[in-house]
Structure 1
């Protein structure tokens, strides 16, 4: 496939680029600072953009089979960037007629798992309270997606870890895996690439966890 990756210097975005190249895809990595992109490859194009102007982003998404985004707040003080930057991506995609888009959100933004126990519900509530501004940003981002003309998928992980790829995790479309508390960024990237050509995931939120 011919893919574009936004947030390519972040933990998940960098893994998407690396795994996509390893799988033989052509990748356009959209970054603000190319020097921060440590992944290299013959099928990699680096596109520099601050994601301010949708018109400037259009060449990065034109003719692509799918767009994958790891954009999001890296800390509470960055709350607001996910919706704002994703809005730029959406406008560029709609202008070019590029339809497939996969983004990262967070488990607590979606519905809780069926049969969730007291401890898991309490933990979700505490995390949601601490990160309320970040999650409000992600909810606004998801609302923007729902209003868009794209064939979107929202991937919702729990707490992220910097661990090696396993390729073994659980996914629940429209929900969240019971007792799912952790997942590696590498496995979130793997899930996104796996879902890119899955028609059952279009216009769905997908919970992913170990």
Structure 2
């Protein structure tokens, strides 16, 4: 496939780029600072995108691609950029005729998984939700933008992300979060997203992914 990757210089984004190239895909990586992408390959093109809300520039990146993957993230300090970026990506994809989109969100944006422990429901989840309120508000708005776009989207909701090697030991739940899922290697998140590219079951569905317990 011909893929476009946004957030390609982040931890998850770089994993997506590396694994996609290893799987034989052609990749264009949208980046603000090209020097931060520590990947080179004959099938990799690097596309400088100083402003990811610039619809015209984003369309140039996604034009002719089979699918788009976004690993754009934020912090409390920079919260408020992910939803506008998603809006620009969705508009650019629609006008370019590109339909498949996989985008990273987070566990707290989705409903509580069935079977969660009392300690998680009463203590941990409320603490995390309050501490990163601005981030999850931004991601929730991003999800609203994407689900209303008419694209063939998949929203992927991982828990806390770790910089660990790929080990293929993760669980996924279509339409819900993974019960008891507390962490996930960025490499496994990238693997899960690439595996969903042509998985019809995940189209227009949220998918929870977490390390296997």
TM-score (norm 2): 0.96
Q: Could you list the per-position Cα deviations for residues 127-153 of structure 1 after superposition, in whole angstroms to 9, with x for gaps in the alignment?
A: 011111100000000000111021100
Residue ranges of structure 2 left out of the alignment (5+ in a row): none
Q: Is the 8 A contact 1:177 1:208 kept in 2?
A: yes
Q: Displacement of 1:52 after TM fit?
A: 3.2
Give the whole-Å Cα distance in 1 for the aligned partners of 2:144 and 2:178. 22
1:30-179 equivalences in 2 (<5 Å): 30-49=30-49, 50-73=51-74, 75-121=75-121, 122-179=123-180
Q: Is the 8 A contact 1:111 1:174 kept in 2?
A: no
Q: Could you list the per-position Cα deviations for residues 117-170 of structure 1 after superposition, in whole angstroms to 9, with x for gaps in the alignment?
A: 111212112101111110000000000011102110000000111100111100
Q: What is the RMSD of the two structures over their aligned residues, measured on CA atoms?
A: 0.9
Q: Residue 22 of structure 2 corresponds to which residue in structure 1?
A: 22
TM-score (norm 1): 0.97
Secondary structure, aligned partner of 1:78: coil
Q: Residue 6 of structure 1 corresponds to which residue in structure 2?
A: 6
Runs of at least 4 residues off by over 3 Å: none
Residue ranges of structure 1 left out of the alignment (5+ in a row): none
Give the whole-Å Cα distance in 2 for the aligned partners of 1:172 and 1:56. 34
Q: Displacement of 1:46 after TM fit?
A: 0.6
